[in-house]
A and B are shown apart, each in its own frame.
Chain A
Amino acid sequence: MMENIYLAIPLAPLFGAIIAGFFGAQIGRKGAHSVTILGVGISFILSLVALNHHVFNGAAAYNDSVYIWMVSDNIRFEVGFLVDNLTVMMMSVVTGVSLMVHIYTIGYMADDLHNWPKESLAGTNAYQRFFSYISLFTFSMLMLVMANNFMQLFFGWEAVGLVSYLLIGFWSVRPTAVYANLKAFLVNRVGDFGFILGIAAVVMYTGSLDYYDVFAKAESLSSQSMSIFSGTEWSVISVICILLFVGAMGKSAQIPLHVWLPDSMEGPTPISALIHAATMVTAGIFMVTRMSPLYEWSDAALSFIIVIGALTAFLMGLIGIVQNDIKRVVAYSTLSQLGYMTVALGASAYSAAVFHLMTHAFFKALLFLAAGSVIIAMHHEQDMRKMGGLKKYMPITYWTSLVGSLALIGFPGFSGFFSKDAIIEAVHHSNIPGHEFAYMAVLSGVFITAFYTFRMFFLVFHGEERMDQHTREHLHETPWVVTVPLILLAIPSVFIGGFTIGDMLFGDYFGSAVYIADNHTGLAEVGKHFHGAWAFVEHAFAGPAIYLAALGVFSAWFIYMKQPDIATNMKNRFIFIYRLLDNKYYMDDINAFVFGGGSRTLGDRLWKVGDVTFIDGLLVNGSARLVGWFAGVTRRLQTGMLYHYAFAMIIGVLMLFAIGLIV
């Protein structure tokens, strides 16, 4: 029974994607969104059934193969599912957010034809294609989280990357969009490069791709070492963990592989919410959590992770302050929050990372969809400098945005508060090298988050109305297909944290799915002081985070509402810092110059010098010319004139004589 349900969960959206994708012209817009919403809806309901089965009925983890892909060299390559409490939570979040986004898309893409040139045939069924893609994404993401082996994980990993590529470049007529999708795919491939080497290392040292087989050998791996450069010894488990984490750095956009995520905002807003905030970018967080039985054996890897995460959380939040595009603010906020999750992983607080992943999925999807709602109302204007005072025109969007913003900054009692505070506390109590730095980073990140979030909030919804007359006259609240998902996402953004923190973080929710070594006590220390959600809120008033957040909100209000000239003054006084942030630490320029330009130059040199000049010019055509020259010389000898031949004969005879005389 359950096997069929597990199978139906990914297949239902795949079915919807196939119908909408291949028969979009026949079934029309209504048919396309109906069939895909039906597919994702079924998937969501069945995911809840699975959640109930495992969490509330306490069923044991399910681990079985669906079919054997191939057997080679006694290694089974298969497609199979591992469903436990971690999986069902991810499945519910993915399908739930996806369902909301599907419904929302009906409104967002309704007038999509405007985005295409009239002559474009690709624009005619773009609406149907969009639904096909987001359903295909849901399928891919489910395959990723439900995998019970590394090959399927990699399949899902790359498949979500493919859909992300297709969706970022959805408006394929825009040069920025098709630049961004290529960039996203290639940067992710850099991560996947590490990831596939990690998988190869796993196969080399365990002879298996199956999670449970590999986990069972984790302890023995921790005592082995390998030599990468001759004469050096590397711990096998650390090499595996760091290589796999490089994959996570690509997918979950950690420094320095984060550069693709801000550009991915070129895609339509629903996918920014679904893929580039709530689900796909958290795949790396999920993966490391799933691999906790490996990571727990390598303090080196955990230390690496916590430092990378802290850098991302802090540096990306800073960039969020100087952005004027509403979606980019949310995008940098996503980067920063992914950094928080990564820090939690490094502190061995896997459950806190996944907990934040879940709450973040709801409130960040909410913020993105709210931003999309604003963008619809503003006739696809995304610059916050041309907004302001939208509160009275869009009450539902306003209030749901407020909920999302409060959840993001960690307002006491909201979902984001519980998850973020748990991470900060866990890092505080961690003993991994680098945790002091990470603690400072995540703590100052609280102020930064509050500041940029409410800067955005005030600029968009309060103050002076800076849009042009035409736009102002047409301002109104968006239709129900847009606002209902906002409301439905606002509810968990407020409540889900407080309801689940006790079980997920300090109870036995994850059971055997997450393994924590005895000496990694960060989260357990926090748990000692945990006496229920309400006490956790009270306890927070004793720590610095809550006051930093309040200060951030106040500063944003003071600078952008009360004394707007401060912002300009600050900008002029610290122009160097402003430029650094505005240019995103120049990382895009460096990448474009070193990797983009460098590889093109290298390719060009190898081609022109290596292939054309050396191999073809010198060796191939050179030997052809040599043969030609030799033939030319010998041809000249054959003049056809008798006396030339006679002369040659006489010379020959004389030479023979000469040789005879010498010998």
Chain B
Amino acid sequence: MFADLPLLSLIVWLPIFGGVAVLLSGDKGDANGVRVLSLVISIATFVLSLGLYTGFDSSTPAMQFVEKSAWIPAFDINYHFGVDGFSMPLIILTTFTTILVVLAGWEVIKKRPAQYFAAFLIMEGLMVAVFAALDAIFFYVFWEAMLVPMFILIGVWGGERRVYATIKFFIYTFIGSVFMLVALIYMYYIGGSFAILDMHTLRLTHDEQVLIFLAFLAAFAVKVPMWPVHTWLPDAHVEAPTGGSVILAAIMLKIGGYGFLRFSMPITPDAANSLDWLIIFMSLVAVVYIGFVALVQRDMKKLVAYSSIAHMGFVTLGLFIVFQIWENPANTEGTGAALAVEGAMIQMISHGFISGAMFLMIGVLYDRMHTREIDAYGGVVHTMPIFAAFAVFFAMANAGLPGTSGFVGEFMVIIASFKANFWYAFLGALTLILGAAYTLWMVKRVFYGEIANDGVRALKDVNSREFAIMTVLAIAVLVLGLWPAPVTDVMHATVENFLQHVSVSKL
């Protein structure tokens, strides 16, 4: 049924034009119309994106649902979409999360609701386009455009220090992407094409590869974010409205991980191989150092932001250990490289659910108490027992409890990293202790104990809208944790092809 439709274009443009329509309908009428319209658009987009899953041929690594037509013929820049096993799950994650974000802002956003919801819808379309774009300049345009709605969201609906946070966010990410643009243009000059798949096969010397790799690293490391270019994230999260934090954590960070898969590793495999120590080092620092930093945070959002950085460390770790897995002479039983990359992918999807849930939970508390300070809470379980049950569940997922999605990716990456080097596994596995420590210590201080103050005493438990959001996310976390096969199955062929490509030197 979907086969004849330009599905990707629909998924990209429906929310963008829908968002414009919401914007135009304005704040003059009733806010309810705006919300319902936004919800309908986001659900329709999600349903369309499911067509990508049902129509997906998981036996081939080739791009599917490809659309291509000339955009700027003078430079051979094309309107070029397509998905494979990496981008398809991330697109569905995007459309799924947007629904929840729209619901999360329902009656909470009183200031300019039309503009608020429009920003999310437009951003959704742009993010899907980033994942689907197969032309480098096309990609770059969406990559930069995506920043604008987020910039506005934090700047308009943000907290007290929102100006500092937005500027920091914008400059950090913008400086990173400029280097990427230079690298893309350079490759166009020597290869004559902006098609990403052409760049994969472009022959480059080792020195060229190193420079291009570092340029990409500047862009993607900031996005992930990797230590030491992570400090924009806690600030951005703290100032962002709940929905903004959810999108930031659940989707935007994934674009960094996706960038390594789509650009860095296939285009510059030799540089990735010779600089893998650097990425592995940065990833392990993220897991351990950031784990300790998360422990001492007093602001819940900062804590979860640092937790995000630590969890994303497993993504980059999983991607860049593949070279050492191949080279380890002691690794005789199977390779483990596919395990590492699939683990990194699963970790991204799972982190989308869990971090989204964590930020939504904080939003639920913030909407009631208008503070995110851990010390301002205590004994919330006595006034919000249902909410507390969700909180403990998602906290356990964040701590990587088996049976939840948080376990799957970490488990795969830890097992795979042992095949590269004992110490990678050793440092990575510290997350078992650190992740549990910072998450559950927060749960203890916020939810357990005696009722701390009258604010907590007056709290009302979740309403049906909040309950519905939490339930949907809890189901997603459980299903992925108890049966990850449907997600891993769609990426096997892509991962295999990716590893085959990366393992061959371009020199």
Residues of A within 8 A of B (CB): 67-75, 116-117, 119-125, 151, 154-155, 158-159, 162, 165-166, 169, 172-173, 175, 178-179, 182, 185-186, 189-190, 192-193, 196-197, 199-201, 203-208, 226, 228, 599-600, 602-604, 606-607, 610-611, 615-616, 619-620, 624
Contact = CB atoms under 8 A, between A and B. Distances in A.
B403 A159 contact: yes
B402 A155 contact: yes
Given A72-B412, A121-B383, A620-B231, A172 B336 contact: no
Given A70-B488, A204-B418, A600 B335 contact: no
B429 A197 contact: yes
Given A189-B432, A207-B333, A600 B450 contact: no
Given A72-B343, A603-B294, 5 more contacts: A69-B482, A186-B437, A189-B433, A205-B332, A207-B333
Contacts of A175: 449-450
6 contacts: A69-B485, A72-B339, A116-B382, A158-B401, A204-B333, A603-B293
Nearest to A120: B382
Interface string B303-346: 00000000000000000000000000011111111110011000
A193 B484 contact: no
Interface of B: 168, 171-172, 228, 231-232, 289, 292-297, 330-339, 342-343, 379, 381-385, 388, 392, 396, 401-403, 407-408, 411-412, 414-419, 422-423, 425-426, 429-430, 432-433, 436-437, 440-441, 444, 447-451, 457, 461, 482-485, 488, 492
B326 to A, nearest CB: 13
Listed residue (A151, A179, A200) with the most chain B CB atoms within 10 angstroms of its CB: A200
A122 B388 contact: yes
Given A70-B488, A186-B440, A200-B425, A121 B168 contact: no
Nearest to B381: A122
A615 B440 contact: no
Contacts of A228: 422-423
Contacts of A116: 382
Contact of B379 (A70, A173, A619): A173
A465 B396 CA distance: 47
A208 B403 CA distance: 20
A196 B168 CA distance: 39
B488 A71 contact: yes
A200 B418 contact: yes
What are the 3 tightest A-B residue pairs by CB atom distance, in nearest-first order?
Answer: A207-B333, A200-B418, A603-B292
B418 A197 contact: yes
Contacts of B457: 119
Contact of A121 (B296, B403, B461): B461
Contacts of A172: 379, 381-382, 447-449
Contacts of A206: 333
A70 B482 CA distance: 9
A75 B418 contact: no
A598 B211 CA distance: 41
A616 B441 contact: no
A602 B292 contact: yes
Contacts of B289: 606, 610
B231 A600 contact: no
B228 A615 contact: yes
Listed residue (B338, B425, B449) with the most chain A CB atoms within 10 angstroms of its CB: B449
Given A178-B449, A189-B432, A616 B231 contact: yes
A159 B402 contact: yes
Listed residue (A70, A175, A205) with the most chain B CB atoms within 10 angstroms of its CB: A70
Listed residue (A117, A123, A599) with the most chain B CB atoms within 10 angstroms of its CB: A599
Given A73-B337, A172-B449, A204-B333, A603 B295 contact: yes
B436 A119 contact: no
A201 B418 contact: yes
A169 B228 contact: no
A186 B430 CA distance: 12
A69 B451 CA distance: 42
B29 to A, nearest CB: 39
A123 B334 contact: no
Given A75-B334, A228-B422, A610 B293 contact: yes
Nearest to A153: B402
Nearest to A614: B228
Nearest to B486: A70
B449 A192 contact: no
Contact of A189 (B392, B423, B436): B436
B382 A70 contact: no
Given A192-B432, A226-B422, A178 B450 contact: no
B218 to A, nearest CB: 14
A173 B379 CA distance: 7
A600 B295 contact: yes
B391 to A, nearest CB: 12
A200 B382 contact: no
Contact of B448 (A125, A169, A205, A600): A169
Contacts of A600: 295-296
A182 B440 contact: yes
A599 B439 CA distance: 14
B377 to A, nearest CB: 13
A149 B404 CA distance: 18
Nearest to B426: A197
A207 B333 CA distance: 5
Contacts of A173: 379, 382, 448-450
B239 to A, nearest CB: 15
Contacts of A67: 483
Nearest to A155: B402
Contact of A123 (B296, B382, B433): B382
A347 B450 CA distance: 48
A599 B434 CA distance: 10
B334 A606 contact: no
A139 to B, nearest CB: 11
Contact of A73 (B332, B335, B436): B335
A607 B488 contact: no
Contacts of A205: 332-333
A639 B472 CA distance: 62
Contacts of A124: 385
Nearest to B167: A624
Contact of A154 (B172, B381, B402, B488): B402
A616 B342 CA distance: 34
Contact of B415 (A121, A166, A189, A199): A199
A91 B289 CA distance: 42
Listed residue (A159, A189, A190) with the most chain B CB atoms within 10 angstroms of its CB: A189
Contacts of A610: 289, 293
A231 to B, nearest CB: 14
A185 B436 CA distance: 8
Contacts of B488: 70-72
B288 to A, nearest CB: 9
Contacts of B339: 72-73, 75
